[in-house]
Amino acid sequence: MVIRDAVPLAPLTTLELGGPARHFVEAPDDETITEALRWADARGLRTAILGGGSNLVVGDAGFDGLVVRIATRGVRFDSTAGAVLVTAAAGEPWDPLVAEVVARGIGGIECLSGIPGLVGATPIQNVGAYGQEVAETIRSVRVLERGAWRTRELLPGDCQFGYRDSAFKHDPDRFVVLGVTFALRPAAPPVLRYRELADALAASAHPTLAEARSAVLALRAAKSMLVVPGDPNRRSAGSFFMNPILPPAEAEAVAARAGGEASAMPRWPAGGGRVKLSAGWLIERAGISRGLRRGAVGVSSAHALALVHHGGGTTAALLTLAREVAAAVHSRFGVVLVPEPTFLGLGAAWNPAAG
């Protein structure tokens, strides 16, 4: 185990913002992960697990503790009755795994193409897009249970999956994800639940998994939701806010506030009788335009839901902009937006009213 001090974290995130880690370990195997965390516990240090850095906002002062960067690799395909089990180490890059699964003609995660980050983050966030969530296909999650220092296999029920949510987010210091097993479908057609994706493939009578992946990548590219060199919107954490999920009466109240635009307001059933609204739509109707600049930070010119860093900025400036956006939506529609990224080294929880 090699422990490095004062390691800059900004280059390890897609936002390219934030200060250094006091201590830093690159962990190429599970044993190093355990050793590093036990080393930190023995010294009373706070710890953080770093994957691809695509869903992370780091404070300008950095993180006064140990950051363990997951770099484990390995993928295994096993055929079983009616399914293909795909087991991947937490440090495997997500999109190359999706590409390989699709190339093998295996369905279940094709709509999750183009999402940056690593496999280990997918159950934590219950990653989802274009009509699919990983919770639908996860068979088990292999974890390190801290304190007991043992490896466990958690079943989906143990993970308590919800919309962009899981048990891992509510008790982040208990488990470290080491690997994930997905139960996928051989020779399955693509999932076309999402209207925008279905429309993109409408010309094909029987769209293939590869066509669905290509369509998703094209849709994401049009919204600058791919990390592409040269794209002015490339420094982001993807969607900064989650789509609000409201009881029907509250959703109707939002529609009433939308006035003449109510008929065009996107809404989807979200289970339990609740309604999911489009945060991006609400943001734009609240007067926050795409391409808005506040110095070195701004709103993506391609998608109002993404906040971007144009270079030379600070996390403090980004959060000030985020609060401006949240305040505009609350004032116009009475909806409280909740950030989707993980905050590191930022002290108190998100507070839209903070200065």
**What positions carry a catalytic annotation?**
164, 239, 340
DSSP 264: G
Distance CA 21, CA 166 (A): 26
Contacts of 97 (CB under 8 A, 6+ apart): 75, 86, 88, 119
Coil vs helix vs strand at 214: helix
CA atoms within 13 A on the CB side of 138: 30
Q: What are phi and psi of 91, to 5 degrees?
A: -85, 0
Q: What is the largest CA-CA distance in the chain?
A: 61
Coil vs helix vs strand at 139: strand
Distance CA 186, CA 173 (A): 36
Distance CA 266, CA 280 (A): 10
* CA-wise closest residue to 288 among 237, 327, 240: 327
Q: What are phi and psi of 348, to 5 degrees?
A: -65, 160
Tokens of 288: 């926050």
Pair 156, 131: CB distance under 8 Å = no
Q: What are phi and psi of 175, to 5 degrees?
A: -120, 145
* CA-wise closest residue to 39 among 2, 85, 72, 74: 2
Tokens of 184: 């996928």
Strand partners, 57: 343
CA 254, 256, 261, 263 dihedral sign is: positive
Distance CA 217, CA 225 (A): 9
Q: How many C-beta atoms surround the C-beta of residue 81 within 10 A?
A: 4
